[in-house]
Chains A and B, each alone.
Chain A
């Protein structure tokens, strides 16, 4: 993921304009760029905001482009103070 000097500036890639348009009316983009997650994480976040924080309905084509963008450029990361146990060691 390309580094960005400021937390409120999105990675410059297709889909960034849609994120800017739908996602900065109430809060700054720094809220967005601080998070990391897969498509499901970002979709759930959109649904939560629609249900509880007055976010409007997003046209389906926009929403898919937004999810693709965010999962690509702000996708889930694993590096940590110490990684979780390997999958085969989990219950």
Chain B
């Protein structure tokens, strides 16, 4: 029986001090006759593809991911609930607590900036369900195609520094977040999402308690005024509207940690097979993947001129070792030029020059290989009940004349 959000936080926050005020009523949704474009225009995401306005979810067309650092306007939007109403950076507090936290404490954002060193990293976020739309049978959830991914620049303090300041007990297993987003049903006691990562991930140099996105205070949709960012793992571990970090003595059991959430069958199953919850294993480092950001799919190009093909590649906690491209449906492959990442856990840019001499319809495919020699599949990979981890190759179509 799930504990109410209030009871859970009260239990693990004992001694942290500071009252939590949950907003009472959800604000009214966008009016029913808003067109999708108006909704996205209102929130500064005009170029994105709207999946749903309530909750707000929108993905980025591949060609809008062409920048080495994803601009805020082009970063995908993922909401499980509604953003909080009050996100005042001056009054916001972050509570550090949990069974394995030696000395619980509470910080304002100003205090975090004063007491701890600030770091900036390009950190890539990808939704665990990016690519879900291709699975058959269909999996329940947002039907992302290729656009639930981005790599902007985040600025904040290290999770490691803050947790070590408070003291970490030897029995610490997990770091979990709680946030101030509001449940769709309007129930103030119901947590929308509260996930976590094992200690090793939380204590990496790149795991940040972030307050800036691309040099500006984090906007509302991306977790204002404070959020967790753990690059290379499913986006759902990077909790937004961050109010608590809990050092736990067990695997965290908050909302969307258990059941089939962000889990795949421990033992692979044929498509459509029902799987019991206790046979599901949690997703950690995301698998190798890439995206073609130029040319835009559907472009008309001239035969005989060298055609630039470029994009990004990533591999969770690992590095990408190679990217290959094909213009003949995988019959032959050409190695692309691959750049270094800006820092660990950023995506890597790649580019190739293609000789498109034959006129007609062409598909341009890209396939990345990680440092352990594992490449992207050509087909949709192992089916799983919730449609996670589709890292099949991306392809764009061009007409050559």
Interchain residue pairs with CB less than 8 A apart (24): A6-B35, A6-B36, A7-B36, A7-B51, A26-B184, A26-B186, A30-B53, A34-B51, A34-B52, A34-B142, A34-B143, A35-B140, A35-B143, A36-B138, A37-B137, A37-B140, A52-B259, A53-B184, A55-B185, A78-B137, A79-B136, A81-B380, A82-B379, A84-B271
Say whether A81 contacts B379, CB under 8 Å: yes
- Chain A residues with CB under 8 Å of B54's CB are 26-28, 30
Say whether B138 contacts A35, CB under 8 Å: yes
- Chain B residues with CB under 8 Å of A7's CB are 36, 50-52
Q: Does B28 contact A (CB under 8 A)?
A: no
Q: Give the Cβ gap from A34 to chain B, nearest Cβ, in Å.
A: 5
Between B50, B184, B186, B271, the greatest number of chain A beta carbons within 10 A of the residue's beta carbon is seen for B184
- Chain A residues with CB under 8 Å of B17's CB are none
Say whether B137 contacts A27, CB under 8 Å: no
- In whole angstroms, how far apart are the Cα atoms of A34 and B132 in the complex? 11
Q: Does B392 contact A (CB under 8 A)?
A: yes
Q: Give the Cβ gap from B377 to chain A, nearest Cβ, in Å.
A: 10
- Chain A residues with CB under 8 Å of B183's CB are 53-54
The count of residues in chain B whose C-beta lies closer than 8 Å to any C-beta of chain A is 30
- Chain A residues with CB under 8 Å of B134's CB are 80-81
Say whether B52 contacts A31, CB under 8 Å: yes
Assign chain A's interface to a size class: 20 to 34
- Chain B residues with CB under 8 Å of A81's CB are 134, 379-380, 392
Q: 1/0 per residue B22-58: CB within 8 Å of A?
A: 0000000100100110000000000000111111000
Tell me the residues in window 91-121 of chain B with beta carbons closer than 8 Å to chain A beta carbons. Answer: none
Name B260's closest neighbour in chain A (CB-CB): A48
Say whether B52 contacts A76, CB under 8 Å: no
Say whether B270 contacts A76, CB under 8 Å: no
Name A56's closest neighbour in chain B (CB-CB): B185
Name A77's closest neighbour in chain B (CB-CB): B138
Q: Does B2 contact A (CB under 8 A)?
A: yes
Q: Give the Cβ gap from A37 to chain B, nearest Cβ, in Å.
A: 6
Residues of A within 8 A of B (CB): 6-8, 25-28, 30-31, 34-37, 41, 45, 52-55, 76-84, 90-91
- In whole angstroms, how far apart are the Cα atoms of A20 and B290 in the complex? 39
Q: Give the Cβ gap from A1 to chain B, nearest Cβ, in Å.
A: 13
Name A82's closest neighbour in chain B (CB-CB): B379
- Chain A residues with CB under 8 Å of B51's CB are 7, 30, 34
Name B142's closest neighbour in chain A (CB-CB): A34
- Chain A residues with CB under 8 Å of B2's CB are 52
- Chain B residues with CB under 8 Å of A76's CB are 137-138
Say whether B379 contacts A54, CB under 8 Å: no
- Chain A residues with CB under 8 Å of B259's CB are 52
- Chain B residues with CB under 8 Å of A45's CB are 140
Q: Does B5 contact A (CB under 8 A)?
A: no
* The 9 residue pairs across chains A and B that have the minimum distance between CB atoms: A54-B185, A26-B184, A28-B54, A30-B52, A80-B136, A36-B138, A34-B143, A84-B271, A26-B185
Q: Does B169 contact A (CB under 8 A)?
A: no
Q: Give the Cβ gap from B162 to chain A, nearest Cβ, in Å.
A: 31
- In whole angstroms, how far apart are the Cα atoms of A58 and B51 in the complex? 26
Tell me the residues in window 226-267 of chain B with beta carbons closer than 8 Å to chain A beta carbons. Answer: 259
Say whether B52 contacts A27, CB under 8 Å: yes
- In whole angstroms, how far apart are the Cα atoms of A8 and B51 in the complex? 10
- In whole angstroms, how far apart are the Cα atoms of A27 and B190 in the complex? 16
Tell me the residues in window 163-197 of chain B with beta carbons closer than 8 Å to chain A beta carbons. Answer: 183-187, 190
